Amino acid sequence: MKAVVVARKMEPGALKVSEIDSPALTDDGVRIEVRAGGCNFSDILMLQEKYQVKPTFPFVPGAEVAGVVREVGADVPDSMEIGTRVLARCGLGGFADEVVVPAAAVYRLPDALSFEAGAALPTVYPTSYAALVWRAPVVRGETLLVHAAAGGVGLSAVQIGKALGARVIATAGGSAKLQVARRAGADVLIDYRREDFVPRVLEETDGRGADVIYDSVGGETTDRSLKCIAWNGRLLVIGFASGEIPEIKLNRVLLKNIAIVGLHWSAYSEREPERIDDCFEGLFAMAERGAIEPLVSARYRLEEAGQALLDLATRKTVGKIVLIP
């Protein structure tokens, strides 16, 4: 089969496609013919040995796929039929034309979603669902501030926030990206390159501040977010795309009676595996009623995996990008 194989620490530009043996089918495994594979920042960090999970070389990157079931193991339920359209959380192995995934991590793809949209869903949408439904529940009518709202994880937060009834304020760099956030449902747009988001958020909330802040950026963005958060507000720590882990002044946490809440979605499979199916059921229900739809802004051939990750790393993309074997 064709696959992107990482044999050593490298940068995205060094990625190449190789011919390798197909993975062996396990008793609990599902062999999927990959129609699309999603790209994430974690893929880049794994190549560079900077991610918290460090696979042993050689490995095939790619944590999420959508495709068609071609073979099932002896212990897989009969409901997982050959030919079924599915999406899967594979962790590794997705940058290939086939992958074997434990049946517990494979889900029937809703009719409302294409293969490309399905491959764009399993990482960023569960992250935002767990954040906004479980960790810092958004109440209808509250104000949700989403930073980096035109990226994959940001757009998922905008869509899920709107589905939950929030008024969404979106920040992004440049008018083109802000319009992407607008189409996803954002009510208020702030171009952080042109204006300070703090006074604008306070203005838009009559001085009250945002009830929930979804922060995947870190650094100075986190620090300044504490200046426009509401009394009893919740700050969600999603990631550190800026490359800087902030140091939070706890006096602000005390004075505003706020909660700082972390979200590590990839740890749920180990820590709370029983909740994962509930998350996907909730997301599929939203998709079926048209409340969410992953935006796939670019498609690359498998041989262009390096360029795809470079474009992702340099923020030349919006929404999600996928590889097509």
CA distances in angstroms from 23 to 2, 59, 94, 98, listed in the order given: 11, 12, 12, 8
Q: What's the CA angle centered on 269, arms 138 and 91, to 5 degrees?
A: 110
Q: What does the alpha-carbon distance between residue 97 and residue 35 come to, in Å, rounded to a whole number?
A: 7
Handedness of CA 94, 302, 121, 170 (dihedral sign): positive
* Cβ neighbours, 10 Å, residue 124: 25
Helix (H) or strand (E) holding 122: none
Q: Which CATH class is domain 124-266?
A: alpha beta
Locate CATH 3.90.180.10 in the chain.
2-121+294-324
Token pair of 37 as six digits: 């594979």
Alpha helices per DSSP H over the chain: 41-47, 115-119, 124-129, 152-163, 175-183, 197-204, 220-225, 250-255, 268-271, 276-288, 305-313
At residue 65, the 3 state secondary structure works out as strand
Band (pLDDT 50/70/90 cuts) for residue 53 is confident
State residue 194's pLDDT score: 96
Average of per-residue pLDDT values in the chain: 96
State residue 59's pLDDT score: 97
* pLDDT(211) > 90: yes
Arithmetic mean of pLDDT, 62-91: 96
Amino acid identity of residue 77, one-letter, is: P
Locate CATH 3.40.50.720 in the chain.
124-266
Phi/psi at 189 (nearest 5 deg)? -115, 135
Q: Which CATH class is domain 2-121+294-324?
A: alpha beta
State residue 242's pLDDT score: 86
State residue 316's pLDDT score: 86
Amino acid identity of residue 264, one-letter, is: H
